[in-house]
Amino acid sequence: MDIQLQPDPAAADDLALIGHAANGDLAAFEALMRRHNQQLYRAARSILHDEAEAEDAVQEAWWKAYGHLRNFRAEARPATWLTRIAINEALMRQRRNRSRETLIQSAYQVPHEQDTMPTHDPDTAAPASAGPDQMAWRAELRRRLERHIDALPDLYRTVFMLRAVDEMPAAEVAAVLGLPEATVRVRFMRARRLLQEAMRPDFDPHAVGAFSFAGERCDRIVAGVMARVNRPAPPSK
């Protein structure tokens, strides 16, 4: 699916990294991972509701992306392509987990406003001058927001994460999720309305660093993928 967007220098940089990585430049692949790890993790977590499971899904998504770098045809932005892979992996794990839960349960049973958000870096730390009380309040707001986002219905949660937290254009979210753009806009507005009702008094969801992506988690994902990339191939039979 072609997505008509304004030229994006970051997308051009991503294309260069993909080209280098496809030719065996692992440093370029690591740079690509570190640039997009946060977005992929947030998308996966919005589906799986579990941090460890989301990390595993992102690692697997990167491994699959690495194996298809040469097949990338730039029909969508690299960020869109990568996010779609992560979402597909998360959905596959979600289906598998639900099937496992169904089997376990059976063993014990007898005979669905405005489409804009302020631009703000969600990972911006509190100002150095912030006191302990302000830091504690920001942390509490973040925890409250994360709980309410987790409580959103499934069909709204991922749309909200991609649109509001990661600031993806509605057209890209539609491409990633395989939905009409109008549906993305409606679901986003409904998700915002639900959160506004749950989070009175109003505050800016971006300003509290929801689902912040610590460097340690990014390092773990990169290390896990690079270990697989560098693993010797088994001898051919």
For residues 167 and 59, what is the distance between their CA atoms, to the nearest angstrom? Answer: 22
pTM summary value: 0.61
Domain spans in the chain, listed from the N-terminal domain onward: 9-108+214-229, 132-208
pLDDT bucket at 132, cuts 50 / 70 / 90: low
CATH architecture of the domain covering 132-208: Orthogonal Bundle (1.10)
CATH of domain 9-108+214-229: 1.10.1740.10
| pLDDT surpassing 90 at residue 180 | yes
What is the structure's pLDDT at 87?
93
pLDDT tens per residue, range 20-76: 999 999 999 999 999 999 999 999 999 888 888 899 999 999 999 999 999 898 888
